[in-house]
Chain A
């Protein structure tokens, strides 16, 4: 099952927060096994995009299926024979049990309820982060004074992982709901801000001068040059930010104990509903995957020029 790799993907995205998130720097490292190394190197910011878009070769496909099958068989054997050699599979449910649980997941009202709660928190936190981070990054890139004011503060706060904000956040905000949304916001905010700023630095100055020669006002520059010119980096930031948002959300839910899929997963352990643990894990993985797919799709829609850039026409 690909749950583990998806979680790893999120984990790696988290490191994109500590280091200055360069394009392609963050999620490139933890590519799952079935992908040949050469491909991993080619696929910068969006490993899954590359994986899905290019369509694996016959050999890669076979190896991929084989390794996943081997993993499932090993898991099945370990839990069937209750493996207990340092790693303990005594309480771990086998893949068949989990499969059964997955098949009936939607009949589980508590599960559905918690998923919806998590989705709402992600939507709120992430969208707020994008709504603040992108404009702030653009303005910081454009106006030196703003950059000089905001940058030191942002650099001071950025290394603090969003999870470390949990206790503080619970104190700051009137409701647990607000504090969890705030932590999700924090997690995605910095990758979005930093990448937008990076995009502003990378923007070719001649494009700005061309626009001004064509009569663009300051407002028009933002709408017609700065924003579209930095969209590629903004979407890198959004992708990384979405990953970190999930990491932060799940941790916050597990700690604060107030609903959500992270809470569901943690609670399953306390309630000795071991199959639900895996159900929660798989669900988190699938949601993470889907949300980055949505961002990628939106990116493709708003950046049509980046789509078929390999196509060479004309003379």
Chain B
């Protein structure tokens, strides 16, 4: 079978060599009529081959925008966006994407959805069917191969979405708050599934979330963004050992990281709310944001 499903960009046994993402001094400005919005200013980001990187920040800070730059849907106003040293020129199958909204084709069955990437490459029916079934088997979805997306739960749809994005072995997987619409239990299961898959594939992942624990649990490194216009607030490595399991979330190391990230985010969220508070009022929060309406904030 020449279609090798879930074959990551790894030379057998060695370290992954492809899937390097670099954003260099990226600016993004949206012009809408008379208004212009600076969404992102001077952002630098790097995802090394096989690395799992999260992008976290307050709502509206430009996370989706940056992901769309890497996906090739938006060209940066200034700066460079590169994958493996090549400038990004548009969307392509080398970068798989999973969206927050359900994005399975409702007119295709689960298997046909997974086959889509192969079909676009011109892989013959029999071979892509076989490849899709193999993948669905790995993901535990084979029993649902002939279901239509409408017949699936939210968690299953996102699982199919991830399998579909991974099917044709992209170099980079981009995920935009993929579990945002799921309940807490499903979300935890999905996180575990994603880490397991990633560990097998050693594919580069850029993961957007606003869930702090999710970012820590999944990532090698976390980029925390400032409120709009989005800039780099801080880059944090996550030195937790792998493989990770949910028990780690109560380890002191995890708690400390969580504390750090949540302080950074809270600071930015308050800024995003545009508040001006006198010094001292926020002492208990150990942050230096300024705002007026403490009650509303807490």
Q: Which residues from chain A sit less than 8 Å from chain B, CB to CB?
A: 204, 206-207, 209-217, 220, 224-225, 228-229, 231, 303, 305, 309, 311-315
Interchain CB contact under 8 A, A313 and B117:
no
Most buried by B among A206, A210, A315: A210
Interchain CB contact under 8 A, A213 and B95:
yes
Cβ 8 A contact of B105, one of A220, A228, A311: A228
Residue B260 at the chain A interface, CB threshold 8 Å = no
Complex Cα distance, B106 from A309, in Å, reads 10
Cβ 8 A contact of B150, one of A206, A220, A305: A305
Interchain CB contact under 8 A, A214 and B117:
yes
A305: chain B residues at CB < 8 Å are 106-109, 148, 150
Q: Which residues from chain B sit less than 8 Å from chain A, CB to CB?
A: 71, 73, 90-93, 95-97, 99, 101, 103, 105-109, 116-117, 119-121, 144, 147-148, 150-153, 156, 164-165, 168
A314: chain B residues at CB < 8 Å are 144, 147, 151-153, 156
B121: chain A residues at CB < 8 Å are 215
Interchain CB contact under 8 A, B117 and A206:
no
Complex Cα distance, B147 from A315, in Å, reads 12
Q: Can you pick out 24 interface pairs between chain A and chain B where the beta carbons lie within 8 Å of each other?
A: A204-B103, A206-B99, A209-B71, A209-B91, A209-B99, A210-B97, A210-B105, A211-B105, A213-B91, A213-B92, A213-B93, A213-B97, A213-B165, A214-B168, A215-B117, A216-B116, A216-B120, A224-B105, A224-B119, A229-B107, A305-B106, A305-B108, A309-B148, A313-B147
A311: chain B residues at CB < 8 Å are 151
B120: chain A residues at CB < 8 Å are 211, 214-217, 220, 224
A210: chain B residues at CB < 8 Å are 97, 99, 103, 105
Most buried by A among B73, B92, B103: B103
The SS class assigned to the B binding surface is loop
B144: chain A residues at CB < 8 Å are 313-314
Interchain CB contact under 8 A, A211 and B148:
no
Interchain CB contact under 8 A, B97 and A228:
no
Cβ 8 A contact of A209, one of B73, B117, B147, B148: B73
Interchain CB contact under 8 A, B107 and A211:
no
Knowing A214-B168, A311-B151, A314-B144 are in contact, say whether A206-B101 is a contact too (CB < 8 A). yes
**Min CB distance, A236 to chain B, in Å?**
16
Interchain CB contact under 8 A, B164 and A214:
yes
**Min CB distance, B264 to chain A, in Å?**
30
A214: chain B residues at CB < 8 Å are 93, 96, 116-117, 120, 164-165, 168
A309: chain B residues at CB < 8 Å are 148, 150-151
Complex Cα distance, B117 from A57, in Å, reads 48
| Shortest beta-carbon contacts, A-B, top 8 | A215-B93, A212-B91, A215-B120, A228-B107, A210-B103, A213-B97, A214-B117, A305-B148
Complex Cα distance, B116 from A217, in Å, reads 12
Q: What would 14 more interface pairs be, CB under 8 Å, given A211-B105, A214-B120, A228-B107?
A: A206-B101, A207-B103, A209-B99, A209-B103, A212-B73, A213-B91, A213-B97, A214-B165, A215-B92, A231-B107, A305-B106, A309-B148, A314-B153, A315-B153
Complex Cα distance, B122 from A160, in Å, reads 46
Complex Cα distance, B71 from A266, in Å, reads 64
Knowing A228-B105, A314-B152 are in contact, say whether A211-B97 is a contact too (CB < 8 A). no
Complex Cα distance, B148 from A314, in Å, reads 11
Interchain CB contact under 8 A, B116 and A224:
yes
B73: chain A residues at CB < 8 Å are 209, 212
B95: chain A residues at CB < 8 Å are 213
**Min CB distance, B8 to chain A, in Å?**
17
Complex Cα distance, B150 from A74, in Å, reads 50
Interchain CB contact under 8 A, A213 and B153:
no
**Min CB distance, A203 to chain B, in Å?**
11
**Min CB distance, B235 to chain A, in Å?**
26
A212: chain B residues at CB < 8 Å are 73, 90-91
Complex Cα distance, B103 from A206, in Å, reads 6
Nearest CB in chain B to that of A302: its residue = B107
**Min CB distance, B95 to chain A, in Å?**
7
Most buried by B among A206, A207, A213, A220: A213
**Min CB distance, A65 to chain B, in Å?**
37
Knowing A213-B71, A214-B117 are in contact, say whether A207-B151 is a contact too (CB < 8 A). no
B97: chain A residues at CB < 8 Å are 209-210, 213
Complex Cα distance, B101 from A228, in Å, reads 19
Complex Cα distance, B194 from A147, in Å, reads 43
**Min CB distance, B149 to chain A, in Å?**
8
**Min CB distance, B26 to chain A, in Å?**
20
Interchain CB contact under 8 A, A303 and B107:
yes
**Min CB distance, B172 to chain A, in Å?**
11
Complex Cα distance, B34 from A299, in Å, reads 46
**Min CB distance, A275 to chain B, in Å?**
49
Complex Cα distance, B156 from A207, in Å, reads 17
Knowing A305-B106, A309-B150 are in contact, say whether A215-B168 is a contact too (CB < 8 A). yes
Nearest CB in chain A to that of B93: its residue = A215
